[in-house]
Amino acid sequence: MVKGFSDNEVKNNTQNTQNTQIKEKKGLAGFLKGKKFTYTLPGKKQINIFGSIVIGLNIILVLLVILYLKNQEFHDFVFNVGR
């Protein structure tokens, strides 16, 4: 005996998947069906710019946290502004 699916089961399976693909898409998928969008990967320059921005903001955040913990005047300023 051969293990696996018989020919009848495989044929039924393909018919079910074809019926589900025929169904009309609704909502946003139906609206975007006719549109053609292309996605292009960002270039090396764009990757470097965004990476620099993220690293710069992280450094600023770390410096502000250190300043908040070490400087009582800055701590009071942040506490009073937050009210």
- For 13-55, how does the pLDDT look when each residue is reduced to its tens digit (9 = 90+)? 555 555 555 566 677 777 777 777 777 888 999 999 999 999 9
What does pTM read for this prediction? Answer: 0.51
Closest CA to 65 of 51, 50, 56, 78: 78
Task: Please give the residue that has the higher pLDDT: either 29 or 56.
Answer: 56
